[in-house]
Chain A
Amino acid sequence: MQRRSFFVAALATTFLTTPAFAADVPAGVTLAEDQSFTYRILDEFSSFDPQIVEDTYGSDIVRDLFEGLYNQDADGNIVPGVALSHEASADNLTYTFTLRDNAVWSDGTPVTAGDFVYAWQRAVDPELASPYAWYMELMAIENGAAIVAGEMEPSELGVSAPDDRTLVVNLSKPLPYFTKMVTHATTFPSPKWVIEEHGAQWTRPENMVSNGAFVLEEHVPKERSVRVRNENYWDNENTVLEKVTTLVIGDDAQGLTRWRAGEVDMTDIPAGQYPALAEEFPDEAFALPRLCNYYFNFNLASGPEAFQDVRVRQALALAVDREVIVERVLQGGQFPAFNFTPAATADFEMPDIEMASMTQAERDEKARELLAEAGYGEGGEPLSFKYLYNTNEAHQQVAIVATQMWKQKLGIDVTLENQEWKVFLETRSAQNYDMARGAWCGDYNEASTFLDLLTTESGYNDAKFSNARVDELMAEAKSSSDPQPLYTEVEQIVAAEMPVIPIYHYSTNVMLSDAIQGWPMNNVEQNWYSKDLYRVAD
């Protein structure tokens, strides 16, 4: 409903309907004396620098330390951050954001539109060479790509600050989901004067100046980082937590043991342990949907000859019993998948796909028919290929179970091949495989972040699938006011052509102490803000 307003009332200013989001403590709840939250992460994050950070753990921290134009609420909708509202031009190529006047940095300096201009120019500057410069390209900001390529100066980026309260962004093509993208860490402001004074050392706790609800107090790499309430934050009075601690614990089972010991409030659940823990701690074990999919790539460029036959691809897809994989192997509330885009994606309507409505017995039957028709399997030419995955317990389990299903149902002989992570990435992107696992997590909450992968030009199209109609539809969707029918058609083409076999859509499995409240359970991007959390007394 909110999205539509961008297009209907194109010239009118869009005021976000929801008020700024903050810890929403219901009446009658007794807050704990000690307002601290300690959570566990798997490994050290890449950086505290908003323009450089490239991993989820780092982004979670950066979202606490810095505040961008917009934030997300508990359901993943955008709510005001430093910006109060925005206005889009009729052609949707120019966005004008109005900034609040009470936002200040932790050293007392006001947050201005110029801080955003500086940060955005910095993100694409070849000198900083941020790996996340591609995100600015994805946002289609004018001249972004040329600056990254070194053909233009960073100052020519299509972003400007006519005054301290106004930020104007020019896009090279209309993007229906542009405003959703400014909740991402790469777009957060950065303090020019601090960076110029301290250089690369500016993210040290003693140097750092930030504008979020928290400031960095301590950082012991690979052990802990501590952030505390920012007294200068404009909405400081609504922040409840005093202190947030991130502990690095590299072992899932050990993370759980320390959660049991009360040393951390939150930890990931070790693979396969969700059902047992949900029984033991019904109020503290969670399986939350997440914007990620899991699939098998066929190598259509240089894989086995048999994969060129769509009936073989269909047969293999049909014979995988996703219920078994999801409910008896992974057991973490994942969703069996027959299409590419996760159902949890905002405004995405699941397409009708024949396979999804069949029973597994029917699927197996059809798989055998199709394979026989194609002349392979029992009675036909024997079919064998290699399945490539990177070494990891969960990937290995999925691989073993799927290949056993093919072997038992279709008589197909699959050899497993595991490789170390980076070797795997190289092998897969060089199409040196028959079939390989793939997975993708959305960059933003909209179907194109997934479906773009199946276009000919996509850098992550490891199956080397190329379909002119899909390319056309996805190009059209970029500027369409109602892209859903286009997405449905793409999904149907994919279901018919089956360049990849969708297996499941992810969920996040976490243990979260019931003392911590306010967690955004329905935010499928799992973008959380410590300022929305609070700790209740036992």
Chain B
Amino acid sequence: MILSAARRRLQSRAFADERAPEMIASRSFWADAGRRFLNNRMAVFSVGMLSLLILFSIFGNLFSRWSFEEIDWNVLGRIKEDGGPSLENGHWFGVDELGRDLYARVVQGTRTSLLVGFIAGPVSVMLGAMLGALAGYYGGRLDRTVLAAYTIWLAIPYIIFFVVWQAFFGRSMSQMILVIILVNWTAGLLIVRGQVMMLKNREFVDAARMLGMSDFKIIFRHLAPNVLWVVVIYTSIVIPEVIMMESLVSFLGVGIQEPNTSIGALLSQGASTMTFGTLWQLGFPAAIFVIAQVSLFYIGDGLRDALDPKER
């Protein structure tokens, strides 16, 4: 009795009218989102900054007088005194502890870190979000299985995981990106699952279901836009984490190999000597990291606003 009454209500004209705005929003969604994003000045500016950073990492070498691996024997051993930034000897950013040109190394490191961060970060979050959405939507046994896998995965000693990986598959950039994704796929899972759990019982989802939409369509057309804000913010949190994780992975022998470097490696080297009077070794890599982070923050924020299905 009650059930059929509910169904009658859900199929009524009045209900469809009432819910229409939410559903329409999700239809003409992407075009609107693009327009809204372009109206956000900070976000557009940040996209510009990030593009500059990418250009820097690709073409920065053209302005370098040194290669990223050659040692300047003239300053080796006198880093603190003679190794600072200088226009004279062509070390724009100074040199590292071994007298290698920091500018060239920062350019090279930025390339590595952007590649790792911008591939491994978003992909991990996407994976986690997808699984989280499915678990939250279907609940029950699937949910419990995903949660069990999640728990196990968080508890696995990941250093051992990297070491085993290195022993079996060796070292390369793509191996590194792959293991980082494998370790991070849990990122965002729980939070998306929670959002979906709340949203799936909202009226507009019920309505879609009653209209005979497939689960797949419901998840991607109606639920996804409503959790995108989480995914976007989470991605901008995970990218810097991944950039730092890269230096650990490389340390364990999976990732890049000296003389190649990365922002994470440069940062930790710089930090280890920060109390010894060679602050430029921390400052320049940190500046790059800041630019990347600030840009990500505003892009993430702009995307969040733009993708909000309730914005008009």
- The answer to whether B73 and A391 touch across the interface, beta carbons within 8 angstroms, is no
Name which of A331, A418, A420 has the most chain B CB atoms within 10 A of its CB. Answer: A420
C-beta contact mask, B158-198 vs A, less than 8 Å → 1, else 0?
A: 00000100110001000000000000000000000000000
Bound complex: CA A513 to CA B276 (Å): 19
- The answer to whether A418 and B253 touch across the interface, beta carbons within 8 angstroms, is yes
Q: Which residue of B lies closest to A330 (CB)?
A: B77
CB-defined contacts of B275 to chain A, threshold 8 Å = 253, 256-257
**Any A CB within 8 A of the CB of B59:** no
**Which of these binds chain B: A121-129, A354-362, A395-403?**
A395-403
**Any A CB within 8 A of the CB of B115:** no
Q: How many residues of chain A are within 8 Å of chain B by beta carbon?
A: 28
- The answer to whether A420 and B163 touch across the interface, beta carbons within 8 angstroms, is yes
**Any B CB within 8 A of the CB of A327:** yes
> In the assembled complex, how far is the CB of residue B108 from the closest CB belonging to chain A, in whole angstroms?
14
- The answer to whether B71 and A400 touch across the interface, beta carbons within 8 angstroms, is yes
Which one of B69, B78, B166 contacts A419 once the chains associate, using CB atoms below 8 Å?
B166
C-beta contact mask, B235-276 vs A, less than 8 Å → 1, else 0?
A: 000000000000000011100011100000000010011111
Bound complex: CA A294 to CA B273 (Å): 24
Name which of B166, B251, B258, B274 has the most chain A CB atoms within 10 A of its CB. Answer: B258
> In the assembled complex, how far is the CB of residue B290 from the closest CB belonging to chain A, in whole angstroms?
23
**Any B CB within 8 A of the CB of A270:** yes
> In the assembled complex, how far is the CB of residue A183 from the closest CB belonging to chain B, in whole angstroms?
36
SS class, residues of chain B in contact with chain A: loop
**Any B CB within 8 A of the CB of A1:** no
Which one of B76, B166, B269 contacts A420 once the chains associate, using CB atoms below 8 Å?
B166
Bound complex: CA A329 to CA B259 (Å): 16
Interface positions of A from 302 to 337, Cβ below 8 Å from B? 324, 327-329, 331
Which one of B73, B166, B258 contacts A396 once the chains associate, using CB atoms below 8 Å?
B258
- The answer to whether A404 and B258 touch across the interface, beta carbons within 8 angstroms, is no
- The answer to whether B258 and A329 touch across the interface, beta carbons within 8 angstroms, is no
> In the assembled complex, how far is the CB of residue A404 from the closest CB belonging to chain B, in whole angstroms?
5
CB-defined contacts of A400 to chain B, threshold 8 Å = 71, 98, 258-259
Which one of A273, A329, A423 contacts B98 once the chains associate, using CB atoms below 8 Å?
A329
- The answer to whether B272 and A391 touch across the interface, beta carbons within 8 angstroms, is no
**Any A CB within 8 A of the CB of B32:** no
Bound complex: CA A273 to CA B278 (Å): 11
**Any B CB within 8 A of the CB of A477:** no
Interface positions of A from 408 to 448, Cβ below 8 Å from B? 415-420, 422-423
- The answer to whether B167 and A272 touch across the interface, beta carbons within 8 angstroms, is no
CB-defined contacts of B70 to chain A, threshold 8 Å = 404
> In the assembled complex, how far is the CB of residue A411 from the closest CB belonging to chain B, in whole angstroms?
14
Bound complex: CA A186 to CA B166 (Å): 37
> In the assembled complex, how far is the CB of residue B86 from the closest CB belonging to chain A, in whole angstroms?
19
Known interface pairs A391-B252, A393-B272, A423-B163; A416-B77 also in contact (CB < 8 Å): no
**Any A CB within 8 A of the CB of B97:** yes
Known interface pairs A257-B275, A416-B257, A418-B253; A397-B77 also in contact (CB < 8 Å): no
Known interface pairs A253-B272, A328-B76; A423-B167 also in contact (CB < 8 Å): yes
C-beta contact mask, B62-88 vs A, less than 8 Å → 1, else 0?
A: 000000011101001110100000000
C-beta contact mask, B119-158 vs A, less than 8 Å → 1, else 0?
A: 0000000000000000000000000000000000000000
**Any B CB within 8 A of the CB of A276:** yes
- The answer to whether B259 and A423 touch across the interface, beta carbons within 8 angstroms, is no
CB-defined contacts of A401 to chain B, threshold 8 Å = 71, 76, 98
Interface positions of A from 328 to 381, Cβ below 8 Å from B? 328-329, 331
- The answer to whether A420 and B252 touch across the interface, beta carbons within 8 angstroms, is yes
- The answer to whether B166 and A416 touch across the interface, beta carbons within 8 angstroms, is no
Bound complex: CA A422 to CA B77 (Å): 31
Bound complex: CA A76 to CA B275 (Å): 36
CB-defined contacts of B277 to chain A, threshold 8 Å = 276
Bound complex: CA A397 to CA B192 (Å): 45
CB-defined contacts of B274 to chain A, threshold 8 Å = 253
CB-defined contacts of A397 to chain B, threshold 8 Å = 97-98
Q: Which residue of B lies closest to A391 (CB)?
A: B251
Bound complex: CA A331 to CA B97 (Å): 12
Known interface pairs A391-B251, A391-B253, A397-B98; A423-B166 also in contact (CB < 8 Å): yes
Q: Contacts A393-B269, A399-B258, A418-B253 known; list 5 others, CB within 8 Å.
A: A257-B275, A391-B252, A391-B253, A419-B253, A422-B163
What would 5 A/B residue contacts be, using CB atoms closer than 8 Å? Answer: A253-B274, A270-B276, A391-B251, A419-B253, A422-B163
Please give me the 5 A-B residue pairs with the lowest Cβ-Cβ distance, nearest first: A328-B77, A419-B253, A328-B76, A420-B252, A416-B258
